[in-house]
Structure 1
Amino acid sequence: MIPVLIIVGLCNQEFRKESSKSLTASKPIVFFYTKKDIEEVDVFISKIKESKKDYYLKNYYKVDNLIPVHVQIGRIQWLYENRYINESDAQFIINELESKRIIEGL
């Protein structure tokens, strides 16, 4: 009986249930979500999401003279729909783009 308990105890570590957490994307990222790593994984995922938001804002939340206005408005609407910016931010930049369109006569 004792040898069986020892074997079960040793095998328990090999077959323990581990949960995982993933980020959906074209190439998803899966993290092992063990009790000792919960906080570290959550912080890392929040940093990834923040970097993604910063990237989108840096590249799409601006008035660019070389990109057509209707393309820029579409990008601003996409940022708003995906909750990267709020309604007042979206309205502000769209007003800037519309005034640019009026001034340039486009």
Structure 2
Amino acid sequence: MTTPRIGQSVRGSTTGRPLMVALDLLGRRTALRVLWELRGDPLTFRALQDACETNTRLLNTRLTELREAGLVEHAEGGYRLTDEGRRLSKALKPLADWAEKWGDGKR
């Protein structure tokens, strides 16, 4: 599977619109988990793998995709969110808040 790109067909959409590309990328297994685990201090590959409870191959794939999308970078200390990755985290906050309220009504 290749990294989704704006303007190209993605899973569920032939338009390549930015929202559809973002949803394709974020919907991939462990992608959101990687972003979640990187919300704080940088993590080494091994620490990130342990935190995500995933295997080496899948984590490498997701990190490649997230790096190509400009959301994650590798720097001193390990992997961390880029400015764009932090903007995405802030953008997801209202969705997370909604999900908590929605989930409370389902219990």
| TM-score strictly above 0.5 | no
- Higher helix proportion, which one? 1
> What TM-score do you get using the length of structure 1 for normalisation?
0.31
- Kindly indicate whether structure 1 or structure 2 has the higher relative contact order, using CA contacts under 8 Å at least 6 residues apart: 2
Rg (Cα) greater in structure: 1
